[in-house]
Amino acid sequence: MALAITTVTPLAIDLSEMPPLMDIEEAKSQAILSDRTTTQVRTPSPPRAPCITSMVRSLTVDDDYFERRVLRATCIQKNPVDDFHPQYSEIVPGLFLADMYTATSAAVIRDLGITHVVSVVKRGCPHYLQDLKHICVPIEDTRHAEILNHLDATTEWIRRALAEGGQVMVHCVWGMSRSASFVIAFLMADRGMSLDDALKYVVARRKIVRPNSGFMVQLSFYEHALRRRRERRTSVESILASMSRGRAWKNVK
């Protein structure tokens, strides 16, 4: 059964301090690519995983051959990246990033042994028929869309799934901006990467990744929040360690 994330405990950061976002003429579907990844993304590259071109029946309710064709056309026709192909990319062992067409393919789900799916789409969230654990994060790919308050819950959900030995698929429509932002956030939170390192790491495994400018700003705030948490945790652990050493000294005869 699909489960939508609707309420998440807000991060302890002041969003009013968020700097003005960049102006984008086509914020609805186009994303501004960071200077750090322009060369990498615009360089034509072959798929890093098998292209999913067959029109097999998907795992969604009442989905058939013709609807699969429409979905595939949607994923390809409106995509701003010339070398885009429906495909999945394994970012870290057990964590995959993909477009919606690939993520709803029964063959892909079966072959990869997917057990958990994160759908980052505002409308048309797929409803998986098989016994898969599935959450839907209702986000649009615009610079004004808020992802910050969803990052903690989604990151923890992915972390638990991987810890249980699961295989996780994260997708939006193209696997470029929305879903990529959540995967980047996971790497920052779980692997301790900086935003810059996490972005480069994901782009190296999926060339088309390009979070929009609004998401990049919010990921920067998330990076700051994670750093503050680690500093507080380190401080508390240091105090507890000192107290423990003090008690041990008193017990010495």
Lowest mean pLDDT segment, chosen from 13-17, 41-45, 55-59, 151-155: 41-45
- For the CA atoms of 161, 185, 141, 11, the dihedral, rounded to the nearest 10 degrees, stands at 100
Look at residue 3 and tell me whether its pLDDT is greater than 90: no
Question: What residues are annotated to the active site?
Answer: 172
Name the residue type at position 137: V
pLDDT at 30 over 50: no
Provide the pLDDT for residue 136.
Answer: 94
Phi-psi region of 198 (alpha: psi -120 to 50; beta: other; left: phi over 0): alpha
Reported as a single tens digit per residue, the pLDDT across 87-108 is 899 999 999 999 988 898 888 9
User: Is 80 exceeded by the pLDDT of residue 114?
Assistant: yes
Digit-coded pLDDT (tens) for 141-154: 999 999 999 999 99
On whether the 34-250 domain is CATH 3.90.190.10, my answer is yes
Q: What is the pLDDT of residue 47?
A: 36
